[in-house]
Chains A and B, each alone.
Chain A
Amino acid sequence: DVKVTQSSRYLVKRTGEKVFLECVQDMDHENMFWYRQDPGLGLRLIYFSYDVKMKEKGDIPEGYSVSREKKERFSLILESASTNQTSMYLCASSPRDSLYSNQPQHFGDGTRLSIL
């Protein structure tokens, strides 16, 4: 089975801190995604990556950046954390040929981030 591992389940940080959320997948997937999940808003795409060192903005990229130096790892960075970034963050991955392999995205268990 595909495993997507997020390094922390719970994280508490202070406003203004630089925060790193890490995600690792073990299935050699080309595509990786970061979402944030808020009550009543569902999942919203922050950034995604189709390949190493490649990234594209999603629907809500403001205040975030990403890094993909290795295929299996996709990091989300909060440059200067603010209280409105308190949320659940979900990482996902999928193969490039997901259309033909019929595999949609596989998700990690999430990181619940609190900014105080």
Chain B
Amino acid sequence: AQSVTQLGSHVSVSEGALVLLRCNYSSSVPPYLFWYVQYPNQGLQLLLKYTSAATLVKGINGFEAEFKKSETSFHLTKPSAHMSDAAEYFCAVSDRSFQKLVFGTGTRLLVSP
């Protein structure tokens, strides 16, 4: 069975600081990995995805994530936080069929001025 673990239910940063949201996965087959963002009162929006091409994946809004097989990790980073980045972020894993996603419990990012 596949699963993801997101470390930290809340992460607080100052505007302009580095954002680092952690995700570790467990999968018996080569995984596909995703990061989604959820703004208040909205559905989930895809930030980026890893599908076994480049291990460093660039997404929207300046976010990127690096797939590290040896560490079973897919952490999300952004060099400089903006107030508009405040949201909840979900890591997800899928098998190669893309048919089902298994989500982590989410990390709420708080950005202070």
- Tell me the A residues contacting B by CB distance below 8 Å: 4, 9, 31, 33, 35, 40-45, 48, 50, 58, 90, 92, 94, 98-99, 102-110
Closest to A41 in B: B105
Stretch in B36-44, B56-64, B65-73, B78-86 with 4+ CB within 8 Å of A: B36-44
Asked whether any CB of chain A lies closer than 8 Å to the CB of B74, the reply is no
Asked whether any CB of chain A lies closer than 8 Å to the CB of B99, the reply is yes
**Contact yes or no, B103 A104, CB < 8 A:** no
Residues of A within 8 A of B90 (CB): 42-43
Inter-chain contact count A-B, CB under 8 Å?
58
20 extra A-B contacts, CB within 8 A, seeds A40-B105, A50-B99: A4-B43, A33-B100, A35-B103, A40-B9, A41-B105, A42-B103, A45-B102, A48-B99, A58-B100, A92-B44, A98-B97, A98-B99, A99-B96, A102-B49, A104-B46, A104-B94, A107-B36, A107-B44, A110-B41, A110-B43
**Contact yes or no, A104 B97, CB < 8 A:** no
- Interface size in chain B (residues, C-beta < 8 A): 25
